[in-house]
Structure 1
Amino acid sequence: MADVVDARLVVRRAAFELDVVLRIAAGEVVGLLGPNGAGKSTALRALAGLQPLSDGHVTIDGTDVDRPDRRLWTPAEKRPIGVVFQDYLLFPHLTALDNVAFGPRRHGADRRTARRTAAEWLTRVGLEDHVTARPRHLSGGQAQRVALARALAVRPHLLLLDEPLAALDARTRLDTRAELHRHLAEHPGATLLVTHDPLDALVLADRLVIIEDGRVVQEGDAATITARPRTDYVARLVGLNLYRGTADGHTVRIDDLTLTVADTVHGDAFVAFPPAAVALHRSRPDGSPRNTWPATITGLQRHGDNLRVQLTGPITVAADITPGAATQLDLGPGHQVWAAVKAAETRAYPAG
């Protein structure tokens, strides 16, 4: 597949610099994730033409739309881009039909053609019975679909989605995510999904790009990233404990603790394991796995059907245990326990 988007997004501010390379192929959905302040929204705004670049370039289907070194900058309305903003930004005084028709009109279509295109798109998103409704009479899910129809009605080469499900309640989010997945699968252009929600990204995106502090720290398909996280943020995103240490075959030294691992690794290495792999004991277990260490409980919280226990000690670790096990252990903040992890439950891989 040919790249629709070829961009190096460099935006410099007083206390922050974004420098991210993005390539998105035709028909591909890329999920851009990162913690608050990582630069996700800045990247989206730069692609949309709402934030001029300090350096780098944005090329869409082989045409430069932003290249500071040539003093070339294309305003947002002239770019072949559709945007769905987090709050949808529907025009409150216009009907659903005229909201969707706004894009084609801005691209030169006459009023009749624009409204016909809008009606077709509202039918495609299942809102043919709401063409005369104004935004205040639409549910959150319906407003999201109008915003999506408005973005797609201009047949964009690049579709930008800025936290498109964040404003929805849990039930509406589930249904709308499934609908959005269907529409994105039918979109022939490139799509960039900006989100903080890993589930949205895992369900909707073909490839993930993780940014922190304005830089790409990891990218790849979901299986690759979930199997081998490379930063604490990514580890939390996929629900793993992650450590960096020095490996020598089947052992990895992490500060004052040496873990036995299933994999063979040498040199700078990561070790990862899920909280569910951590067993807790009131005293040092007899005949225990090799990986045991004393720990102090710093916090307890509900996590699904289990309890998430936060521990300090030679390493900081999260453990998931059943409520029944918690009762037997008499857990509480400040209590001392022994933590254990079987080597077979660990993943070790080079950090380089």
Structure 2
Amino acid sequence: MMLDSRLVVDRGAFRLDIALSVAPGEVVALLGPNGAGKTTALRALAGLQPMDEGHIRLGTDDLTALPPERRPIGVVFQDYLLFPHLSALDNVAFGPRRHGVRRQEARATALDWLTRVGLADQAAKRPRQLSGGQAQRVALARALAVHPRLLLLDEPLAALDARTRLDTRAELQRHLTAHPGATVLVTHDPLDALVLADRLVIVEDGRVVQEGDAATVTARPRTDYVARLVGLNLYRGRAHGHRVTLNNLTLSVDDQQDGEVFVAFRPSAVALYAEKPTGSPRNIWAATIAGIQRHGDNLRIELAGPIAAAADVTPAAAAQLDLAPGRTVWAAVKATETHAYPA
């Protein structure tokens, strides 16, 4: 692995302790809720956050004790941190100049990178004259102009509006694909992670709780945070064949398992009834409506009962069933709609 690291930062009430490896040309996304430790990990890699234990190695080079300016790293900060008194060209040329490149050569390199990100015609403008998307691309060009072996991106799209974010995400993906070094992307936006990253590392409370490619993580979530992220109901129980016992309910499942397992199913798989349904075999339980909210074109119904669950129904179905908070309904999920896998 090009990047091999263990990052330990102890703040008393909060402790970050994660191992992180990234191959050349690979983009790894650190994904997790606010306060999980993602930015702390990124700052530790950059040398901006002292570590209490651990190591950071890039190939055969040990960066652990090196100051930030001596690390072969490029960083794009969430707020970009462009120098307000410098033009876009000179912002990008700053890195090469700090590495000893002569002014004329550094400016030529900067113009080349501004051309690559489609901003050659904005080279003379200062940051305040640029749009959010343009400023993000200048920051990316500045980070890449030093040919970093490790590129660090801290919420690089968070400051953009929805339309600019869409266009800039596509542009960023193109440049990350071409980057030969390792890349670590910090984000709390699952779409950014799914589009930009080759591998996801989920961080909660300062530790890695799950990692893998997007298909694996989204199909088999292992925490409530990941389940909510991908829109699944998730439970942990004990399986005996095609039956899984939870705390207060036993579910029939499609997969045959034994031992500790996770069970997941989509809110769209949950059917609601005013009366207890009969007919084809399914999992049925009485539930109380705890909340109703808009969810795209449907309504997301939050259910309390032997298990907490989310169900998606159309507005027409909600009106027909006269759904309202506090009302008791029957919830049903077919075994074929469930997915069980080892915990």
The answer as to 2:39 corresponding to 1:41 is yes
What secondary structure is seen at the aligned counterpart in 2 of 1:31?
strand
- Deviation per CA, 1:234-285, whole angstroms, max 9, x where unpaired? 1111111000011110000111100000000111111000111111111111
- TM-score under structure 2 normalisation? 0.99
Deviations 1:163-209 (A, max 9, x none): 00000000000000000000000000000000000000000000000
Aligned to 1:52: 50
Quote how far apart the aligned CAs of 1:289 are.
3.6
Report the CA distance between 1:62 and its aligned residue.
1.5
Task: Give the residue type in structure 2 aligned to 1:208.
Answer: L
1:123-167 C-alpha deviation (Å, 9 max, x unpaired): 000001000011111111000000000000000000000000000
CA distance, structure 1, for counterparts of residue 120 and residue 34 of structure 2: 37
Aligned residues: 343
Q: Counterparts of 1:246-325 in structure 2 under 5 Å?
A: 246-325=238-317
- What does 1:1-352 correspond to in 2, within 5 Å? 3-66=1-64, 73-351=65-343
> CA offsets per residue over residues 201-221 of structure 1, 9 Å max, x none?
000000000111111111000
Query: How many angstroms apart in 2 are the aligned matches of 1:306 and 1:107?
Result: 55
TM-fit CA distance, 1:290: 2.4
Q: Which runs of 5+ in 1 are unaligned?
A: 67-72
Given that 1:249 and 1:264 are in contact with CA atoms closer than 8 Å, whether structure 2 keeps it comes out as yes
Tell me the secondary structure at the aligned position of residue 325 of structure 2: coil
Q: Which amino acid aligns with 1:190?
A: A
Q: TM-score, normalised by structure 1?
A: 0.96
SS at match of 2:25: coil
Q: Residue type matched to 2:260 in 1?
A: D
- In the alignment, is the contact (CA less than 8 A) between 1:259 and 1:291 conserved in 2? yes
Secondary structure of the 2:275 match is coil
RMSD: 0.7
SS of 2:13's partner is: coil
CA deviation map 1:305-326 (0-9, x unaligned): 1111101000000111111111
Distance in 2 (CA, whole Å) between partners of 1:245 and 1:34 is: 24
Distance 1:167 1:321 in 2: 33
Identity of aligned residues (%): 74
SS in 2 for 1:219: strand
Paired letter, 1:32: L
